[in-house]
Structure 1
């Protein structure tokens, strides 16, 4: 097939426009066109009154090779690359050791699925509950303020990504097209086909729940085993080789190939690994607030007269500002038409996150507005970032009233350093609830200074961003893991053979897609190592 890129058409183009564009670009007649499919569809909204749709198409024609030769020097006309996933190994018939995967978020899910598809029958250990029970616990916390520290936004089947916007795009380099493997698996599990071609695919919580269940069923059907409520409390190392784990109920499970896909909030596990001598480094992360605007205002600012167009959907944004104090402030995990949610996994702490459903039709848009920090801001060793996060989260708990409500302030009040007496037109979506206060001491002074500078700067890019009734809710601290569990070229810990640090919790991913891609890489590395050792 032939891939055509950068095919530009008006937002309101008719049904035959794509075919006409193909014929015109290739200079062929209609009878030479066999069929075509959309590989990617994005948009260019720089001119709000005349937004363009940008297509990448895969085209089947008669005499394809002749056309490829004719357009050999044309950068927008190339042979369609092979997007089929090709397993790197197959489990030996005499498989004697089953690999272990710790964690069942996007990274652990894809690690387990790919291992199962290659015949390795993995054992997956998840500290939280299966996804529907976990959903009940999570909504119970939001509604009744009853926190289950092992079943919440952070812990349980599907990982933190289940209660998020469900974004399925990433900026990681992906020369092997692992992302296509991930998307194909999601579609097979019930995701809408459009995630295969829209430029910024997303799913949303309710669709993710059903998908995760179907992927779990496939792993089990292929011989894998999934154990919920199975927290790993200890690991066993002999001569720098991992040999197994001990669970919270005292059971020991042995394996010399263990993937560590525990997510960015498994603080007790980080502490245990550090005590056992696994090499860990502190790394940069970010902290800040969630900001809410009415979604209609963001749509108008981004799309002008085309706001509300069904193809464009709810508008998003991505912003960054470099401050005078040397800090960078940026938007993170933007959730169009979504809600701000409570995301703590520890008692007496407040953490915010953003979530959307597939429809993205809630009243507000929300995004984190965060400031980059690095280990020099929290000196004290590899785990000092965890204590830095905890301090901010505990203080936010007190500021919110010590009842899991979150501290909040209007943007107008924040910029003026004044506690607002009442809310404006933007209605908070945070569950359980908010308490209006002054956020000036919710973060270190340099963070407050940077965010106060950045919000007016962002207003120059998104008109209305600094709207005085917009709402800030604190605190956002779980942007990424504050540690990096270093690994070598074989994807194993640099000082613990057989331990495969993976995904967000180890510092190698930053979202659903990048975590899932890393999970595939880990599965391949484990499979090759198992087969090598079996020789």
Structure 2
């Protein structure tokens, strides 16, 4: 017999496997001498609203029968070596899941990636951190798996209308992710585990007969009568297909320039810009879990989500936390020499002593009148200028400009900085000289408001590290709401973050699947 039960447990009861089984048996009141009882968790969330943290658990209990797995981990795909082919530009989550979905639908994907495979990328990431050398084709944003590979691996999304979230999670599990991601309310994989999973995803594509081309940069499009027939690479090779899914991520500025030069319709898009804020993880745990010393051995590193509405010169804008990384690291995310960009990531155990989060301000196009001359590239040009200012402020290296939080609010350069997780190092500056007033003043208001919401958050024992500017694409490549096809160029399917539609690993993966389905339905299956 199998039954489902709801439990509210202590952290030890929820996260200690032996204790969990004991608690379930005690709740059921069934003698283990008469029946064999095994339980497994299928949903789990943390409730830290009270003084004592509780874990809400949905469990399946198996009484005198075998425990069934959460999923069928079979990942066999049909062979499509000789099938009709489509081109997918960009091997991030959107591109990889578009390729797998194409294979399921009997179509051969040609997956083109400007960067290196996931293992070879490591050397270029080390060069950024240790030698301050940025390879514009292989970095934290470009390369196999995209920006998501070397990130926290967050899998939480609110984009439930875009596709089947559970399906995406199950594909990750089938390629090596732990089943815990099917259970936790806010699942994550961890930057230490993602490379192996990404490699397994690639192997599935190759074993089915798809192609994956690394170190292959798209420099032109093949257009005939407003139809996308294929792409041209940096070596002059022409690759043809029945359609092109453009899944290049939010940092491929050369692609936006190419689209603009080819008079392919694109649009400027609002985005968000700010800084990374770094606290000690112990402080965030004390605030969130109401603990006096530390969170103990069972609770995971705590996170937070903050938002505040601010006014500056009569305009209201949101200030909010973005991509919070508990137990994580701040990393250099520049994609070209001469720019400074930071991002956050966490290992699967989230066991760093630091907590960091983007704290960013919404930037609307009306905030940038002086950039209107750049047309659809206006927000991108603004973004690039701020990144260059940050690079100069940091000392024209990958050392980042930084300032303690209270000092920033008081417009006072910090005499000393705190220990940091950011490997290239920090340079003490007044970040008001790096950020525009409409960003800096709103951030200052936001930090004070966040201190009221989270007592202890607003402190000079935290520091700002700048700049967090790649929150989303500053350009949108338009597409039809129903067909996902570009409104002017046929057979072109703008996809995920780089097109201005999806944000995060899961929503990008779902968008990639939908683009593959729409292209194949329109041009191959008819």
Establish whether TM, by shorter chain, passes 0.5. yes
- 2:474 counterpart of 1:487: no
Match of 1:524 in 2: 517
SS of aligned partner of 2:56: strand
SS of aligned partner of 2:283: helix
Match of 1:41 in 2: 44
TM-superposed CA distance for 1:420, in Å, is: 1.3
TM-superposed CA distance for 1:175, in Å, is: 7.6
1:197-222 deviation digits (Å, cap 9, x = unpaired) = 11111122221111111111111000
Q: Is the 8 A contact 1:90 1:118 kept in 2?
A: no
CA gap of 1:61–1:457, structure 2 versus 1, over 3 A, is same
Match of 1:349 in 2: 339
Q: Is the 8 A contact 1:242 1:496 kept in 2?
A: yes
Match of 1:69 in 2: none
Written as runs of structure 1 = structure 2, the 5 A alignment for 1:81-480 is 95=83, 97-174=84-161, 176=163, 178-305=164-291, 307-325=294-312, 326-379=316-369, 380=372, 381-423=375-417, 426-480=418-472
SS of aligned partner of 2:355: strand
CA gap of 1:84–1:497, structure 2 versus 1, over 3 A, is farther
- Structure 1: gaps of 5 or more residues: 63-81
SS of aligned partner of 1:322: strand
- Aligned equivalents of 2:216 and 2:81: distance in 1? 29
- Aligned equivalents of 1:411 and 1:149: distance in 2? 32
1:474-513 deviation digits (Å, cap 9, x = unpaired) = 1111000011111111111111111111111011111111
TM-superposed CA distance for 1:30, in Å, is: 12
TM-superposed CA distance for 1:264, in Å, is: 0.2
- Aligned equivalents of 2:86 and 2:25: distance in 1? 49
CA gap of 1:93–1:100, structure 2 versus 1, over 3 A, is closer
SS of aligned partner of 2:108: coil
SS of aligned partner of 2:328: strand
1:305-353 deviation digits (Å, cap 9, x = unpaired) = 3842444211110000111331210010111111111110011110011
SS of aligned partner of 2:258: helix
SS of aligned partner of 1:99: strand
SS of aligned partner of 2:376: coil
TM-superposed CA distance for 1:530, in Å, is: 3.8
- Aligned equivalents of 2:488 and 2:228: distance in 1? 10
**Structure 2 counterpart of 1:514, from 507, 513, 519:** 507
- Aligned equivalents of 1:184 and 1:216: distance in 2? 16
- Aligned equivalents of 2:180 and 2:79: distance in 1? 34
1:345-364 deviation digits (Å, cap 9, x = unpaired) = 01111001111111211121
Q: Is the 8 A contact 1:3 1:56 kept in 2?
A: no
- Aligned equivalents of 1:405 and 1:476: distance in 2? 14
**Residues matched between the structures, number:** 506
TM-superposed CA distance for 1:9, in Å, is: 2.9
TM-superposed CA distance for 1:260, in Å, is: 0.7
- Aligned equivalents of 2:159 and 2:5: distance in 1? 21
1:107-155 deviation digits (Å, cap 9, x = unpaired) = 1111112222333121000000111111111111111111111000110
- Aligned equivalents of 1:127 and 1:399: distance in 2? 30
TM-superposed CA distance for 1:10, in Å, is: 3.4
CA gap of 1:226–1:170, structure 2 versus 1, over 3 A, is same
Q: Is the 8 A contact 2:390 2:401 kept in 1?
A: yes
CA gap of 1:524–1:61, structure 2 versus 1, over 3 A, is farther
Calculate the aligned-residue CA RMSD, in Å.
2.9
- Structure 2: gaps of 5 or more residues: 14-18, 65-69
